[in-house]
Structure formats: C-alpha cells, structure tokens
Chain A
Amino acid sequence: MILVGIAVTVLGFLISLLSLGMTSSVSGRLLMVLVGLAVSLAGIIGLINRAYLKNPVWKR
C-alpha cells in the first residue's frame, strides 16, 4: 500500500508536469496543476498515511 501511495504521489507531479506540454493557456495549466496537487495529496493522506495507521505503535 505504501508503494502504491508513493506511485500516486509521483503521478500527481507528472500530471502537473504534463500541463507544460499539453496546453499553453494559463488557466488550462492552472487546472491541471491543481488536479496534480490533489492527486499527490490523496496519495500521501489517503494511501501512505492510512497504511501506516493500520498497525500503529499505540495499538500494539
């Protein structure tokens, strides 16, 4: 799950990067970068952190 989370986090960056080649409009790029940021945050908060919270030290 952690590795999937890392992959999703990197994917968010790639979406932002792709905005440079896919469009030249400022608003189009802004939209893509915001989507990329949301994907990266979902990877960190929704996948990586959740994986660590499955067996935390305080429940052991």
Chain B
Amino acid sequence: MKRSLILVATLLAITAGVFGQAPATAQPPAAATAKPITDADLKSPEMPKAEVRAKGDPDGSLTGTAADVAVADTKKGLTIGDLINQAGQNKIAINFVWTLVTGYLVMFMQLGFALLETGLARAKNANHTMMMNVAVYAIGMLAYWMIGFALQMGGVGAIANLGGTPPLSAEYAFNLFGKPFGLFGQNGFFLMQHGTNDVAVMVLFLFQMVFMDTAATIPTGAAVERWKFSAFAISSFVFAAFIYPLYANWAWGGGWLSNLGANFGLGKGYVDFAGSGVVHAVGGLSALAIAMVLGPRIGKFTRQGKPQAILAHDLVLVLTGCLILAFGWFGFNPGSTLGASGSGNLRIGAIAANTMLASAGGMLSAMLYMWTVYGKPDASMTGNGFLAGLVAITAPCAFVNPLGAVIIGLIAGVLVCLSVAFFERIMKIDDPVGAVSVHGVCGIWGVISVGLLADGKSNFAGAWNGVNGSVTGLFYGDPSQLVAQLIGVSTLIGVVFSASLVLYLVVDLFVGQRASAKSELSGLDLPEMGALAYPELDLTSRGVEV
C-alpha cells in the first residue's frame, strides 16, 4: 500500500510538471481524481490468447506482455513491487548491453591499430608489427585482470548506471594539504577478491580493459621496426599492470585528480570524459619514452641528422585502419556514459555527433595543411589528422557543443602536422606512425580543451566528480576548470612520462630493448618472429618463381 501511495504521488508530481505551464483557464489536472493503483488492478491484464499466439506474431505486436514480467511469488501473482523491480532491472539491462556492445566496438579498434601500424611499416616488418598489436591484447588483458583493474577501479564506489558496484569500495588515500589524496584501489585483484565476482563489476572490467588495451597498443606504433619482441612483452605487461591503471585511478577511479573540484574548488575536478588524457596521452607519452630509449631506425637520419622518409608499405591498410578506428570510436566516446538509460545518459546523441564532427574537422584541416604547405594532400597525414580530431574530442565530447567540437577537431588536425615535424626535425625522434603526435600531443590538447570550451550545458544527474553543476570552461565563465585540466596535463608529463621512461630503461638494462642491427636491416619478421608476412615478395626478389 505504501508503494502504491508513492507511485500515485510520483504520478501526481509528473502530471503537475507536465501541465505546470498550461494557461490559467485550463481545466484542473485529471490526476487529482485518479484512483491509486493496487495489486488487484494487475490480476487480470489483457493478454493475447494462447490460440492467437500459437499462430505466430509476424508484426511483433503480441510478443512481450505482462506474462513476461518476472513474478517474485507465484501464489500472489503479479504485484506493483514486481513491476517496479522489472523497471529497475530493465534500466540496468539497457545499460549493461550498451556498455558491453560499446566495449566490443572498442575492442574492434585493436584491428584498426594493427592495420594502421602494419601498413606504415615496411613489408619486411609486417609480421612483427602485426604480432605486437595482437599479442598486446592478451598480455595487457591478463596483467590488467591480475593487478591493473583493482588498482584503477578498486575504490571507485557505486556506479549507479550499472546498478551500483559495491565491492569496489576500497581506495588507498593519504592526507596532503589537509585533504585526502586517493592513490590506488585495493579491491578486485583477479576479479575474485572482496566480492568482485559480480556481474556489474564484470561489465565494468570488460569496458575498462579494452580502454587500457587501446593505450597499451599506442607505444608499439612509435617502436615499430626495432623493438625486441621479448622486451615489448615485458614492458607491455608492466604498463598494463601499473602505469596506465594508476593514472586512470587518479582521473576515473575516485583518485586525487578527480577530486580537485571537491577538495580544492577547481571546477568539477579534473575532467576527462572518455580518455584524451587517460588513454591517449598516457599511451602517447609512453610512446615518446620508448622512442627515445630505442633511438631512430637505421637510415632514418643522415650522418648530418637530416630526416629521411621511410615509405609505408601499404597505404590501403593505413587508411582502412583509420576508418576502423573511427568506427570503433563510436564505442569509445558514447560508451563512456556506462549507460543509455538514466540521468543525463541521453547525452549519448550529442556525444556521438560531436565525435564525428571533430573527426571531420581534424581530417580536413590536416589534409588542407599538407596540401597547402607540401603541395599534395598526403594520405598518411590525412589519416593522422582524422585520428587527431578523434583523440582530441575524447575528453570534451560530453561537455562541448557542436561548434566547439569542430573547432577542437580543426585545431587538432593542424597541431598533429606541426607536431610530427617538430619531433622529427627538432627532437630527432623517429616515430614511424606519429603516435606521439596523434595520441600524446592531441590527447593533451583534448584535455586542455575541456577547460576552455566546456559550455556548461551537460547535466549528468546535476553534478560531476561530486561537485554540483555542469562542467564549464574558461570561455563560458569558469577559469578554475582550466587549472584542474592543466594539473592533469602536468601529471601526465611529469609522472606518466617519467615512470614510462624508468620502466623502459630498467627493461633495457636487463633484457635490451632494441633488436640487433643485423635483425633490423634484414627486417624483424624472420629473426624475431620466425616467419615472413609476405614470403612471396622475398622469394620473388631472389628470382624464385612463385
């Protein structure tokens, strides 16, 4: 009865809201005389008869009735409590399916990365490059399952969109400047500890795992054609177990960066909706570290230090990879709501539209830049501009308007072209796929753009990171949000880059990061992997008829 009264009160409130703006001459709301619904009203709902159902349901109008509502007590039959429980489970089911399917899309991005990087490598390294992209999936996943997920999300607390994740409730924190600084989670190792063998936790794990794997595959791009496979495997394991999860905890797992708003009054805390910083800048800065440790490929620079072009072996693979990545991004960004049903989650429409607009802006500005400066619309840089727009919009996609999204993409497209030239010509760093520029530099730009262009119109249950109100950037009135974003950037450069460099140096000390010069010159396919990707090419070049 109490539930019935609550239901009626809710209906009254909704009706009052709907008719709240009606003219003064309007009739009084009919709901004022409505009778409370009771369990008795549910005893004989109209349902299609068995003989009608037996004839099939070609137009779908007979399938899905009151008979499909789960009943708690068959003796009592259908009750209002059953209906309410079913409504709650439907919401969570929608969000589970949404998060899982978008997670599958993100997993598909692995193929995009593999084709992109392999296409940009020379044919003699195709097997090795492809294998790095495939193997990182398994290596990274197991490391993340054992250690990384718990460090990242073990203290995140309840995630309402997934029905609450109560087992993930232990965050290690220490006090600094009189405030708690969350450092890492403590529940969820092996997905078996402290009740984390839980359906909602599993959904979260799958989604977060594919994000981690996206980050872990970025350094392979900068290390193409010279990274020893054993060193790659060890480095990737440690990256997935510790480096990525720690920063992800600080930003997404209830750690100190996300609480800069609640603890220090800086906007809504560090805001990175889908991971321009957490995924792409972490991967990109780690790529910079491994590119420095490995050094450039033989032949990339002349004795005078002048960069030489080393041509991609298959631009078709490169652009196919870019398109697959762009498709997967519709999982990456809209999926980061972790739900389609619930407060603010219909924002997925704006997020998806912003994602595609920024990608178009990035591609177009990079293409026009290359066309104007170098005379031709370079294919690989057009592809990189496409990805640069996507990387940059990943953090702000939920908080900016369509104009802001296009601006972010346009800037990213030019930025990636300038950045590639800077790293190659000034810093003399050999990054065969442009991973540092696309993911590192444009990831950082994406993080900063939240602090500039967030328009204060999003509304995810009225708060973000525990601070009431919408995320609002400098140009819309809140300069403190920009400071929070810059502290996130400083952490990326100061901590993530440094930790990655230390990791790669330690592995270099014990295993050696770079393949031998002999292996590099012959191509890594045979010496590292034991098989050529294209044996016919090798045989043909030796005059053998195939």
Contact = CB atoms under 8 A, between A and B. Distances in A.
Tell me if chain B binds chain A.
yes
Interface of A: 2, 6, 9-14, 16-17, 19-21, 24, 26-27, 29-30, 33-34, 36-37, 40-41, 44-45, 48-49, 52-53, 56-59
Nearest to A6: B498
Contacts of A29: 266, 483
B264 A36 contact: no
Nearest to B293: A52
B292 A52 contact: yes
Nearest to B308: A58
A33 to B, nearest CB: 5
Contact of A57 (B295, B479, B494, B495): B295
A41 B264 contact: no
Interface in B474-503: 479-480, 482-483, 486-487, 489-491, 493-495, 497-498, 501-502
B92 to A, nearest CB: 37
Contacts of A24: 264-265
B498 A37 contact: no
Interface residues of B, number: 36
Given A26-B483, A58-B302, A58-B303, A33 B490 contact: yes
Contacts of A36: 490, 494
Given A2-B505, A56-B296, A14 B494 contact: yes
B429 interface: yes
A40 B487 CA distance: 12
Contacts of B486: 16, 30, 33-34, 37
Given A6-B502, A14-B494, A36-B494, A48 B292 contact: yes
Contacts of B427: 45, 49
Contacts of B298: 57-58
A49 B480 CA distance: 33
A22 B296 CA distance: 42
B69 to A, nearest CB: 52
Contacts of B479: 26-27, 30
Interface string B253-277: 0000000100011100000000000
Given A16-B486, A21-B176, A57 B493 contact: no
Interface of B: 176-177, 260, 264-266, 288, 292, 295-296, 298, 300-303, 305, 427-429, 479-480, 482-483, 486-487, 489-491, 493-495, 497-498, 501-502, 505
Contacts of B487: 16-17, 19-20, 33
Contacts of B493: 9, 12-13, 37, 40-41, 44
20 contacts: A13-B490, A13-B498, A14-B494, A16-B490, A17-B487, A17-B490, A20-B176, A20-B260, A24-B265, A26-B480, A27-B479, A29-B266, A30-B479, A33-B490, A37-B493, A44-B497, A48-B501, A49-B429, A52-B295, A56-B305
B477 to A, nearest CB: 12
Contact of B497 (A2, A9, A21, A59): A9
Given A49-B428, A58-B305, 18 more contacts: A2-B505, A6-B502, A9-B494, A13-B490, A16-B494, A29-B266, A30-B479, A30-B482, A30-B486, A33-B487, A36-B490, A37-B486, A37-B490, A40-B493, A40-B497, A44-B493, A53-B428, A56-B305
A10 B482 CA distance: 21
A15 to B, nearest CB: 8
B248 to A, nearest CB: 17
A36 B491 CA distance: 10
B39 to A, nearest CB: 56
A26 B474 CA distance: 12
A53 to B, nearest CB: 6
A20 B264 contact: yes
Contacts of B483: 19, 26, 29-30, 33
Nearest to A48: B292
B311 to A, nearest CB: 18
A12 B298 CA distance: 34
Given A44-B493, A56-B428, A6 B501 contact: yes
B298 to A, nearest CB: 7
B331 to A, nearest CB: 32
A19 B264 CA distance: 10
A58 B264 CA distance: 49
A26 to B, nearest CB: 5
Nearest to A58: B301
Contacts of A10: 494-495, 498
B490 A12 contact: yes
A49 B292 contact: yes
Contacts of A34: 486
Given A26-B480, A49-B427, A13 B494 contact: yes
Contacts of A44: 288, 493, 497
A17 B495 CA distance: 11
